[in-house]
Amino acid sequence: MPPDARAAYERLGHASATRTPGGLLAGPLLGIDHIGLCVADLTTAGAGWAALLGLPLVDREDVAAQKTTAGFLRMAPGAAAVELVCPMPGNAGLDKFLAQRGDAMHHIAFAVSDLSAALERLAGASIELIDHAPRPGAGGHLVAFLHPRALGGTLVELIERKP
């Protein structure tokens, strides 16, 4: 394991005697919300995933705050979903991602009951965050991202669903 990844895992409590029982997200953690896939063309990718899973692409929307268009393939009520996310003009980060990797897994999202409390707890544990405060995401929910360096290269999204 690269030294920077080992340090990130140790900050999260792995291989450490100071690990918080239940993890840093204990309390607010509700479960996996969705797996995010970055795609160049939402219509084409949506048709392929819909055919594979036998599910329609639903809840398609432009998320201006994130310069993305998103759509979801929902398995069942309460189950994790597959999110397809496509960059809108001006989203240099996702454009770069697609240029380097093509359509690929982008992030994993965990649902939390209190996003502000989760971010405060993570920041207090020196976990590197992209967002230090919640921001609007798809469906009007609040979201925040942990920096990929916090978990050895995996982008993690935290989502607080609106009632």
Report the distance separating Cα 153 and Cα 100, nearest Å.
15
**Over 70: is that where the pLDDT of 3 sits?**
no
- Give the mean pLDDT of the chain: 89
**Over 80: is that where the pLDDT of 10 sits?**
no
Q: Per residue in 25-45, pLDDT tens?
A: 888 899 999 999 999 999 999
For the beta sheet containing 142-146, the strands, ordered from the edge strand earlier in sequence to the opposite edge, are: 58-63, 68-74, 81-87, 29-38, 104-112, 156-160, 142-146, 135-136
pTM recorded for the entire structure: 0.85
Average pLDDT for 71-93? 95
For 48-103, where are the E strands, in sequence order? 58-63, 68-74, 81-87
Tell me, what's the pLDDT at 17?
Answer: 40
Q: Residue with structure tokens 């999260």?
A: 12
More confident of the two residues 154 and 11: 154
Tell me the Cα Rg of the chain: 16
Tell me, what's the pLDDT at 107?
Answer: 97
Q: Per residue in 90-137, pLDDT tens?
A: 999 999 999 999 999 999 999 999 999 999 999 999 999 999 999 999
**Over 70: is that where the pLDDT of 11 sits?**
no
Q: Within 10 Å of residue 36's Cβ, how many Cβ atoms?
A: 22
Report the distance separating Cα 53 and Cα 44, nearest Å.
14
